[in-house]
Structure 1
Amino acid sequence: MADLIARAETMRVGLAVAPVSTGTDLMIDKLLVLDAHRCDFTPLLHIARDLREQVDWARVADETADSPYARSFLRLVEALSVAEPEAVRSNR
């Protein structure tokens, strides 16, 4: 958790200033909760498209490599040209 906060960028959110998670960390967190009971890619596709340039897809692939659901999602974003194939496959 300390690493996550250390990577966060401090931004103004309304009247407060708060640490905001990176796009990469957000995608990793979202992908790691996918399982047989929670496997709806629709909201994740919206996030992936909105943040595509802000995500280190190679790191996402590396840190979610043990999840078959995450691997499937990464293949989908690759096929839809949301992420470059080289980035998604570089660490597999």
Structure 2
Amino acid sequence: LDPINATDPVSGTAEAGSTVTVTYPDGTTATVVAGTDGTWSVPNPGNLVDGDTVTATATDPAGNTSLPGTGTVSADITAPVVALDDVLT
């Protein structure tokens, strides 16, 4: 799994053509097939909070299932930067 935050899609890599099942902390799941380059992405459910754990497994076309991969949600706590121009009157 790629790094996870509370808003962006959940993504990662697996063997091309594998079916990836993502399990969220509340037990709901999302399923997607990895692309030809192995990348995959599922929507963020919108209810993830800092410290939640998300797991994913991949099942290849031959039926072999991977061990679960896990990721921990990390809240974006970086404050936005405001730039001001000095204006003299």
For the aligned pair, the TM-score class normalised by the smaller chain equals: under 0.3
For the pair shown, the structure with the greater C-alpha radius of gyration is: 2
Instruction: Give the TM-score, by structure 2 length.
Output: 0.25
More helix per residue: 1
Normalising by structure 1, what TM-score?
A: 0.25
Which structure is higher in strand share?
Answer: 2
